[in-house]
Structure formats: structure tokens, C-alpha cells
A = this chain, B = another copy of it.
């Protein structure tokens, strides 16, 4: 079945989708279009309503109000087993009493597909588990179970595949492997994937489009690099990785696309193109740790520089993360790639610098 090319499925549209639990509003009027065939990630902290949204799409939860459209069809009122949508559950939810093959074939048999066995075996091959067909789920390791859950869902060639933190229970190494695997499979089968996670790295690695959710609403939506490099709010900035935030006061006018400003009394330059339209409540300057660099001697050309001393250095293999204390007490996080660039020791006085185009500017107030 992996070899069959599918017509691109229709778009999935959520219209003012809302779900209340008693008084509590879990999902608060989401409007969203997921283009057919895309890899879409829903990102957000625990309890923000990701699972609830997904369950409504799957038909496992009834919306309090709003609509769900698949292509031209309104599927809001249909029941789970009538929707051509499949889910890979966070906990896998494999049937412990069935063999791997029977798990994968479950949906096909429900739909009375005659050659379910062949197709289930093909799906198992796709996830590289053809040799485990006869085993029970509990005989497999976590990563294998995850792949079975995936096979069980995609074998049905659904219009939309929902993945609810499918990698949450895996260890780091396995998680990275599975991320690559999932992406490969999505490209191969061309099904719309909606991937829920609270791991920002995961969302950014895998998805074409990422939506960041917050208490039942969508805070920002866009391509991963757009969200990462140009977050609209501090919330998004912080959620998609660490940020060093400094209060910013504009001083001069734009010259050559740059504006001079002052952060805690230190003069800095910022990219004029990044200033938000409405800067009423004041501004904040944000710099990602990896965009900050420890400046060695001979780097006088760097426009933005702050002095401090190293209070902590932790080696993580790929990089070393320093905490650099500023005069005003704030500790900036600096991630220095271990690619041969300058290293510093605990207590060393250092200067950190950054390229103005790699920083971003946020309205203050909005956190």
C-alpha cells in the first residue's frame, strides 16, 4: 500500500471549534485549515487542549459548538467509526490480546477488506516490523510498539492521520530515530499528518506548519523557522526554545535598516524590519542562546556586545552552555557550539555579542 499513490486528500477545516467540560473551556473556538497532504504540528504546554482538539477531529469527543469539515464534507455529527480519520494514540493503545498482525489488520477487518492480511503485512514492512507479525505487543520494545500503532493507523489509508504525542514515552535516542522515520513515512504515503506534541524541537524538526496553542486557543501559526526566528509573543518565543529577553527602548531612527536603541543602559542596534507595528506598551529584545557568541579578541566589528562573567558552564557534547551574569544581575544563557570556537571557564570575564539580524523584537506586556 505504500506504493499506491493517493490523490491528495481534501483540506481539514476547523470552524470555531469549541469544547467545554462543565464550566471549563478546554478548546476555545479554534479556526484552522490544515492543507491536504501536509505535516501539521500542534504544539503547546500540558493541558492547553491539544488532545481534546485531536479527539474532536477523530470523533472521540463531541464538540460543544463549531464545525469540522473534511474536504467538502461536514463530519461534525458522524461517529468515530464512521470517519476516515485514524489516530496514533499517545499510549499506543495497542490491543494486548491480539498479535501485531491482528492489531494492524483490525481496522481493515472491521471494514471487511478481503486482502487485509496482505495489506497489514505491507504496512508492517513499511515500519520494518514484518518479522514481528506473530508477536504480542508486550513482547516488543517501546519504539516497536509505537511503529505498530503507526502501521495500524496508516494501513487504513485515512484522509487524516492524527498523532497524539506518539513519541512521548520513548527515550531520547529512539525518539530522534522515530522522528526521522515518521517524516519519511509521511512523505511516502502523502496522508495529512496532524502531530501533537509538547516538545518544541520535535515539532520544528518534523512539521511543515506549526500551530502553538495556549489555553484552548491558537497563539501563532506558521512555518517552524518563522516561528522560531520571529515569534510574535514572548510566550511563543519561550515555548520554542530558550530566549534571553532584555527591555528595549528605541533611541534613534532607522539607518540602513538598523535602529539604535538601549537595553538596560547599554547601546544596541536592532533590525528595523522587526519592530512590531504596535509598540505602545514598550518593547523587548529577544536573543536565542545560540545566537549569542562569546567574543574572543579581534571581534571588535560586532555591533552588539554585553560584558559579564561566567557563573556556570555545562558541557553537553555538541555544545557548551554558559550562564553569563550581567552587571544588573540577569543571567544570559549562551550556547556555544563545540566546533572549535572560543571556550571559557567558570568565573572568567567575557564579552558576548550578537548579529542584530538574528535577534527579534517583541511587544512587552504580552508575555
- Chain A residues in contact with chain B, CB under 8 A? 46, 168, 171-173, 180, 183, 198-201, 204-206, 224-225, 228, 240-241, 288-291, 293, 312, 314-319, 335, 337-340, 355, 358
Contacts and interface: CB of A to CB of B under 8 A. Distances in A.
Given A224-B315, A315-B205, A335-B318, A171 B198 contact: yes
Nearest to A224: B315
Contacts of A172: 199-201
B340 A337 contact: no
A241 B318 contact: yes
A290 B240 contact: no
Which secondary structure characterizes the binding site on chain A? mixed
Contacts of A171: 46, 168, 198-199
Contacts of A290: 318-319, 337-339
Contacts of A180: 312, 314
A-B pairs, top 6 by smallest CB distance, nearest first, are: A337-B337, A290-B318, A241-B317, A205-B314, A228-B317, A201-B316
Contacts of A241: 317-318
A177 to B, nearest CB: 11
Contacts of A314: 180, 183, 205-206
A206 B312 CA distance: 11
A340 B319 CA distance: 16
Contacts of A224: 315, 317
B240 A317 contact: yes
A240 B316 CA distance: 10
Contacts of A205: 314-316
Contacts of A200: 172-173, 317
Nearest to A223: B315
A84 to B, nearest CB: 30
A315 B358 contact: no
Given A171-B168, A288-B318, A339 B201 contact: no
Contacts of A312: 180
A13 B201 CA distance: 40
Nearest to A355: B340
Report which residue of A199, A240, A318 has the largest number of chain B beta carbons within 10 angstroms of its beta carbon.
A318
A130 to B, nearest CB: 24
A200 B240 CA distance: 23
Given A293-B339, A358-B340, A316 B204 contact: yes
A95 B225 CA distance: 44
